[in-house]
Structures are given as C-alpha cells and as structure tokens.
Amino acid sequence: MLEIKNLDVYYGVIHALKDISIQVNEGEIVTLIGANGAGKTTTLRTISGLIKPKNGTILFNGENIKDINAQEIVKKGLSHVPEGRHVFSDMTVLENLELGAYLRRDKKNIKEDMAKVYSRFPILEKRLKQNAGTLSGGEQQMLAIGRALMSRPKLLLMDEPSMGLAPLLVKEIFSIIEDINKQGTTILLVEQNAHMALSIAHRAYVLETGTIVLKGTGKELAQSEEIKKAYLGG
C-alpha cells in the first residue's frame, strides 16, 4: 500500500532523513521506533505532504504522491493523527469530528462513520457539545483518532498516540489501535513506547539519526538484544 524509496529530507543544511526505504502492506500495523530526533515524526510529515523531500519516491497504492499537497493526499485515503493530538481546542467535540469529514460529500456514510466513532469512544458522545480544549489528554487523543477516522482512511499514520497518557490509558489506546486495524485500516505507527508498539506490530523499523538501522517482525525486534538494551530497558 505504501512504499517509500530512497527518501532524503533536509531542514536547511541538516540532513534529517538519509536515503530511507520503508514498505507498508495492506492490512498491516508497521511501527517506527527510535530515540527523540531520530526522524520518526519527519517521516510521517513527509508522507502526508507537510514536508517536501529533496529526493526519493513515496508510492501510495502505486501512485507517486511526493509532490501532491496534503489535502489531496487525504482525499486519496491517507490520514494523519499528529504528535501532541492538535485538536481544535476552541471548537466542540462534534465540530472537530465533522472537520475530519470535511472533504467528503457522502452524508449517509458520514452519519454511519460518526455512529462508529461514538461506539468506539462512548465518552466522546457524552462530550459532543464540550470544547475540545476542556477534555483530558486521553479524551483528546481519542478525539484526534476519531477525527482522523472520519475521513475514512485506507492508511492511518499515528504519531506518538500514547504520549503523556497514564499507563492504563496507554493500554486502552493500543487496544483501540489493534481494533481499528482488525476492522480493515492499515496503520503506520510512530511510538516512543517501543515495548507496546512492538507487541502489536506485524513489522517494525528502527530509525537512528535519520537512517534505518534495523528492520524485522515486531516479535523479532522485541526479542533482539540490541533493541532490549536500547529501547526496552533491558
């Protein structure tokens, strides 16, 4: 579904991503792990058209989307849940969800998808008229995921969904991610909690200073001594 080949990204003179290649097959959860500053967020932002790469190709369902703007990329079925949630805090929960479906015109299906979001996140239905800025961190994360799902993505990019959440909520968010995947959405996940990310990922890549240094199944990397030492506290 997604194939990144030989991607180079610069911030001014800083070479942020160095010739990286990543593949995400339909139906998979693929995770990118690595330390802060490794290039994980830059990778997602480049895929979704927020950053323009210097070299390389980004193929989404066989089409090169490298030079397409972010809005067109969403139309093609790729949605991004950004790091730090970025809900529209002065707008209600309902308005945030409606914005997720901004590019859609299929009103009947939008209504169905809204009902699905409510069944997945019952707390959001209770908070519909509340401003998003008044929600707790966990509720805002659920809203950010719900809003992204309202665009009916084929591929969902998720950046640090567990950041700043209590351990119990982290488990809940990861269980939701697995459920979204089982319902047919392919997921590319960036996550600092390497232990949780590898436990649900079909495959994983390790980024270090803009370079992919390891790849394998989630299970293989979770058992790798190198990974245990660097990211799993062992």
Residue-by-residue pLDDT tens, the chain, 234 positions: 999 999 999 999 999 999 999 999 999 999 999 988 899 999 999 999 999 999 999 999 999 999 999 989 999 999 999 887 789 999 999 999 999 998 888 888 899 999 999 999 999 999 999 999 999 999 999 999 999 999 999 999 999 999 888 888 899 999 999 999 999 999 999 998 899 999 999 999 999 999 999 999 999 999 998 888 887 765
Residues 6+ apart with CB under 8 A from 114: 97, 101, 150
What pLDDT does residue 134 have? Answer: 95
What pLDDT does residue 233 have? Answer: 64
Q: Domains along the chain?
A: 2-87+153-222 (3.40.50.300)
d(CA 76, CA 170): 30
d(CA 126, CA 8): 45
Question: Model's pTM, two decimal places?
Answer: 0.92
Residue type, 87: V
d(CA 75, CA 60): 12
Q: Is 42 left (phi over 0), alpha (psi -120 to 50) or beta?
A: alpha
Query: Dihedral of the CA atoms 209, 210, 212, 214 (nearest 10)?
Result: 20
What pLDDT does residue 192 have? Answer: 87
What pLDDT does residue 234 have? Answer: 53
| Closest by CA position to 41, among listed 197, 181, 188 | 188
What pLDDT does residue 97 have? Answer: 95
